[in-house]
Chain A
Amino acid sequence: MSNSVVVCTWDQGRKGTPAGAEETLTLARNLAAAAGLELNWVVAGPAPDRVPEIAAKYGVVHLDRIENAKLADFQPDVCVEALAQYCKEHTPKLVLIPQTFDARLVAPRLAARAGAGVVMNALELAVENGTVRVTASAYGGDTRVVYELTGAESCVVGVLADMLLAEAPEGKAAEPAVRQVSVDLGGVEERVRIIQKAHLEGPRLEEAQIIVSGGMGLGQKENFRLVEDLAQALGGMAAASRPVVENGWIDSSRQVGLTGKITRPVLYLGAGISGASQHMVGCTAAKTIVAINKDPDAAIFKYARYGIVGDAMEILPEITKAVKGA
């Protein structure tokens, strides 16, 4: 077992950065420094443009590149095999994966291959007296659970990067040593065939700067228009809690929460949303939360910067009017 922590990415992300890479590197770097582990970064498939620069910024020692034609696009069987071969050769103590949608499938599969422990939804990591300790979200964000690695040498960790902040260390960046890692993927045939790709039209909720979100407090589908009107007036996007999506008031691509999207806008305005933990997981990283709810004891007010106690049906149109009138 080598004494290393390796951040593992394969997606192309946006703006040259794999999704969640910087937040995960922040966690990994702090852990490596505190526990005396070597920080490495393995990139499976084509590396997005900014990878070398980011690796240097976070003090990555080895930038490991797995380049193989089969890794050009994400394919789960191929990706798991490539990373399993990497882990077998380099035996990292900790494998940290930014928890994207695809990572939720890859991480446990990789752990099975490596005989390693696995923890998802991780928010904190520590190594104390040689014991790896992972703090993760549970019960839809209601509780935090601490897991210790007790029955294996290594552990795969899915990091809830969307809920963490990226913080590069101060000081001069050092170039990482690039290692080309060869893997044999000849025998891997993807077993799941894609018949129709997912295709998202329009902007992404995860990237929205302003989100206006509605809950069941709006009463009925027709009233959801008030949320959409304000979102439009503010140049933002409309979103919703899970019950609203389940009732078909808005498409599931707009669901905020643990089983939906984790967003981090500048402004999150929640109307008629009670603030169940599993929803708040999807928006607590927002810079400013505004809550409108009839019930002054609604949980969402605990997270909000500003609150208005009142009927969302009356208040939303007034905010829209005020925004437009400005």
Chain B
Amino acid sequence: MKIVICAKEVLDPDAVDNYVLVGKLEIGNDGKTLTQKAIPRLMNGYDEQAIECALQLRDAGLDCKIHVVAVATDPTKILQHAVAMGADEVAAIPVDTGTVDGYATASLLAAFVRSLGGADLVLCGRQASDGDQAVVPGLLGEMLKMPIVTVARAVQMAGGTTVRVTRVTPDGDEIVEVSCPAVITISNEFGAPRYPTGMRTMKARKVKPQQVTPDSLSLGEGGGRPRMTMTRQFVEAIAGNCEFIQGSSPAAAAQELLKRLRADRVIE
């Protein structure tokens, strides 16, 4: 069985959040790029969990080859991390990250999967922690004519080519089955990805990902063309009008708070 995981390189969202919280996020002269060098670049956390999902299927006895592919300016580091986690093959599709949108990315990934002769399972993170768009898996599924199952907390083989997926929905868990080939997106509820040993990480640093240029992929007529262009990024100012309630004791503060909330008719 062939499993392809699509991985994205992102800026550490926690670091971005920290800079925003202290009001020090820097945006470059182009008005959209986050420029702070101190913000680490790493693999999208949900994509790591997608790799973990594939590794767990293998641990459960599935005979499979695990490919990880990334579309980015230079995704070498995250692909080496994928190898350290246990991926068999890694491929980089080098493009200027700033020039592609979800549509173009999905077109490249679809063409890559076709160039492998297809895949039985395509696993993606539920969304990328930078743009939060979550559109690539849906686009990719359509382009590959595969069914799509989103936000999985558990994935297991259920006999033959049937996969059983537990989805995290707003109404609780839903269990579905789908036949391969299929696209499945993995949610944070899947659980923490394994942390590769130092030895594996050292060894993976020597791995050079296969370079697959966009020109070498058959994208079809105009297929790889981006539809959307990001033109601006900014931090929205928060007004902030918090009134701090003082009290000589927790009990006094509690009483004072209730008094205010009742006066505002927030509670009865």
Residue ranges of A at the interface with B (Cβ–Cβ < 8 Å): 76-77, 80, 101, 104-109, 111-113, 116-121, 133-134, 136-140, 142-152, 155, 191-200, 204, 206, 210, 234, 242, 246, 252-253, 258-259, 261, 266-267, 275-278, 287-288, 290-291, 296, 299, 301-311, 314-315, 318-319, 321-323, 326
Q: Give A52 to B241 CA distance when docked, in angstroms.
A: 40
A245 CB, min distance to chain B CBs, angstroms: 8
- Give the A-binding residues of B (Cβ under 8 A): 13, 16-17, 20-21, 25, 32, 34, 101-103, 106, 126, 129-139, 141-143, 147-150, 164, 167-179, 182, 187-189, 225-236, 238, 240-245, 247, 250-251, 253-255, 257-258, 260-261, 264, 266-267
Contact partner of B227 (CB less than 8 A), chosen from A150, A204, A304, A321, is A150
Structural contact, A116 and B243, CB atoms closer than 8 A: no
Contact of B170 among A112, A261, A308 (CB under 8 A): A261
A74 to chain B, nearest CB (A): 12
Task: Report the separation of the CA atoms of residues A74 and B124 in the bound assembly, to the nearest whole angstrom.
Answer: 24
User: B174 to nearest A CB, angstroms?
Assistant: 4
Given that A105-B150, A111-B139, A112-B143 are contacting pairs, would A288 and B231 also be in contact in the complex, using a CB cutoff of 8 Å?
no
Which of B135, B182, B232 contacts A145 (CB under 8 A)?
B232
Max chain B Cβ within 10 angstroms of own Cβ: one of A108, A146, A197, A253: A108
- What residues on B are CB-neighbors of A278 within 8 Å? 13, 17
A306→B167 CA distance, assembly (Å):
37
Contact of B17 among A105, A139, A198, A259 (CB under 8 A): A139
A323 adjacent to B132 (CB under 8 Å): no
A sample of 12 more A-B contacts (CB under 8 A), given A118-B103, A308-B247, is: A119-B133, A137-B132, A142-B25, A191-B182, A192-B176, A196-B173, A267-B261, A276-B17, A304-B242, A315-B254, A322-B254, A323-B267
| A322 and B255 contact, CB distance less than 8 A | yes
With A146-B233, A151-B227 known to touch, is A109 a contact of B176 (CB < 8 Å)?
no
Determine if B137 and A108 form an interchain contact, defined as CB atoms under 8 angstroms apart. yes
Q: Are B172 and A138 closer than 8 Å at their CB atoms?
A: no
Contact across chains for A246 and B188 when beta carbons are under 8 A apart: yes
CB–CB A288/B261 < 8 A: yes
Q: How far is the CB of B178 from chain A (nearest CB, A)?
A: 5
A252-B189, A306-B260, A308-B257 known; A144 and B231 CB under 8 Å? Answer: no
CB <8 Å contact, A120 and B134: yes
* Top-7 shortest CB links A-B: A108-B138, A117-B227, A112-B142, A191-B147, A318-B254, A108-B135, A198-B171
What's the Cα separation between A210 and B129 when bound, in Å?
A: 29
B residues in contact with A323, CB < 8 Å: 258, 267
Given known pairs A107-B135, A234-B267, the reply for A299 and B21 (CB within 8 Å) is yes
Complex Cα gap A326–B189 (Å): 40
Query: How many angstroms between the C-alpha atoms of A58 and B182 in the bound complex?
Result: 40
The complex places the Cα of A296 from the Cα of B173 at a distance, in Å, of 38
Q: Given the complex, which residues of B lie within 8 Å of A326, measured CB to CB?
A: 258
Q: Is the CB of B230 within 8 A of A146?
A: yes
Known A144-B235, A259-B188; judge A151-B228 contact (CB<8 A). Answer: yes
| Closest residue on chain A to residue B169 by CB atoms | A198
Q: Report how far A71 CA is from B174 CA in the complex, Å.
A: 20
Please determine whether A139 and B130 come into contact, CB atoms closer than 8 angstroms. Answer: yes
Residues of chain A within 8 A (CB-CB) of B175 are 194-196
Contact of A142 among B141, B172, B231, B235 (CB under 8 A): B235
